[in-house]
Structure 1
Amino acid sequence: MTDDELLAGVREAFTVLDPVPADVLAAARASIAWLAPSATLAELERDRSARAAAGVRGAANRVLTFASPDGSVEIEVSENGRDRELMGRLVPSMPALVEVRHRDLPPEGITTRAEPAGLFCVPRVPEGLVSLAFRLDDGTTIVTSWIRL
């Protein structure tokens, strides 16, 4: 038996006895479509959960700040059942196409526009791991790190 035959047998055994779950394969395939090699990464700098004041109805909102060498992104996350609403702004202010990337969404995700003042709102974002891609009018892209909402 050659090394190649042995490895083929081991591969077949794992395929039968411990197959890769379909959702893991789907997430891996989708991640290839999300690649943006020339994008600037905006990493999570601050994650604040405001505490609701005593006697005030509703859940407290979460405030996320992502920082990159090109600027920052501030996002307020509001819960609405299983969905989230994202309201945010780009600093410095600039218009951009905003793409929400999520495992349960198609590769183009949910899109909206950030106005010239840098403000944007994205309603009905499913809970789970999310990343935002900002495609600026000058052709550059800023991508946030992944975060669980």
Structure 2
Amino acid sequence: MNDDELLAGVRDAFDAMDPVPDDVLAAARASIAWRAPDATLAELTRDRGGRAAAAGLRGAAGRVLTFTCPGGEVEIEVSEHGRDRELTGRLVPSAPALVQVRHRDLPPDGITARTEPAGLFCVPRVPAGLVSLVFRLDDGTSIVTSWISL
């Protein structure tokens, strides 16, 4: 028995005894479609979680996330609206861009919005769960945030 035959036997045993769930395989395939190899990665550097509202006030303070990349930042405030989230934020330094929200329950193009001239944006009705944002700047460059659970 050579190495290839041994590995094939081990793979068959795992497939029979502990198969990979279909949703895990679907997520793995989708992640390849979501790749943005030329994009600059903005990693989460600050997460200020929402706090309970003060007595007599409605609602709770939103969660504020800061993603940092070479030459800039993305600041996002997350507000809960039932099962959905509303993302408002800004791109620093400001730049015109198309904002795309990536989520496993959304179509491949996700939800999109445009930044205003000051770099501000708002994306309503984002499902709860793992989310990543892609900013396609008008100069042809892109920024992608790390994945974060909302």
TM-score by length of 1: 0.93
Following superposition, the deviation at residue 106 of structure 1 comes to: 2.4
Following TM superposition, where does structure 1 have runs of at least 4 consecutive aligned residues deviating by more than 6 angstroms?
none
- Which residue does the alignment assign to 1:49? 49
Q: Which amino acid counterpart does residue 130 of structure 2 have in structure 1?
A: L
Distance 1:4 1:67 in 2: 44
Report how far residue 3 of structure 1 moved: 3.2
| Equivalence for 1:62 | 63
Compute the displacement of 1:70 (Å): 2.4
Secondary structure of the corresponding residue to residue 24 of structure 1? helix
How far 1:89 sits from its partner (Å)? Answer: 0.8
3-state SS, counterpart of residue 57 of structure 1 = coil
Taking the aligned partners of 2:130 and 2:29, their CA distance within structure 1 comes to 16
Aligned to 1:7: 7
Equivalent runs, 1:11-90 vs 2, <5 Å: 11-51=11-51, 52-90=53-91
Could you tell me the percent identity over the aligned residues?
Answer: 81
Secondary structure, counterpart of 2:124 in structure 1 = strand
Pairwise mapping of residues 92-131 of structure 1 onto structure 2 (< 5 A)?
A: 92-131=93-132
* Compared CA separation, residues 2 and 68, structure 1 to 2 (3 A): closer
Any idea what SS the aligned residue of 1:4 has? Answer: helix
Determine the C-alpha separation between the residues in 1 that align with 2:129 and 2:76.
16
SS of structure 1 residue aligned to 2:108: coil
* SS of equivalent to 1:25: helix
* Two-structure CA RMSD over aligned residues (Å): 1.3
Q: Secondary structure at the match of 1:139?
A: coil
Alpha-carbon distance change, 2 to 50 in structure 1, aligned in 2, over 3 angstroms = closer
Q: Distance in 2 between matches of 1:107 and 1:21?
A: 21
Q: Is the 8 A contact 2:90 2:119 kept in 1?
A: yes
- Shift in Å at residue 49 of structure 1? 2.6
Query: 2-side partners of 1:82 and 1:117: how far apart?
Result: 29
- Cα deviation 1:85-137 (Å, max 9, x = unaligned): 00111111111000101122222211111122111111111111111000000
Give the Cα separation in 1 of the matches to 2:17 and 2:107.
30
User: Runs of 5+ in structure 2 lacking a partner?
Assistant: none
Show structure 1 runs of 5+ residues with no match. Answer: none
Matched to 2:76, the amino acid is I
Structure 2 counterpart SS, 1:41? strand
Distance in 2 (CA, whole Å) between partners of 1:129 and 1:40 is 19
How far has the Cα of 1:50 moved from its partner?
Answer: 4.6
